[in-house]
Amino acid sequence: MSKEFVQNSYNEGDVVSAIIYPQTRLVIRRYIDQIYYCRIQGDAENKDLVYFERELVKNPYLIEKNLKARSQEK
């Protein structure tokens, strides 16, 4: 039984939103064992929120914004 390699869709620092609260922006802090550890954007004092990838919204606007931010970092 081998584990199939799955690449994560989001990187650390990407801005996303969850299905449950789509109006709240989350910043990916870590990705470990197929779990995303996020913080609410602009609120560093609260604890991390934990999500599986299927619980995050695939928002085309945020995806494009994240890709632009990654290309500027390089």
pLDDT tens, residue by residue, 1-30: 555 656 788 999 999 999 999 999 999 999
**Residue 24 and residue 18 in contact, taking contact as beta carbons nearer than 8 Å:** yes
Task: Retrieve residue 36's tokens.
Answer: 């995303």
Amino acid at 51: Y
Confidence of residue 71 (pLDDT cuts 50, 70, 90): confident
**Residue 43 and residue 34 in contact, taking contact as beta carbons nearer than 8 Å:** no
Number of H helices, E strands in the chain: 1, 4
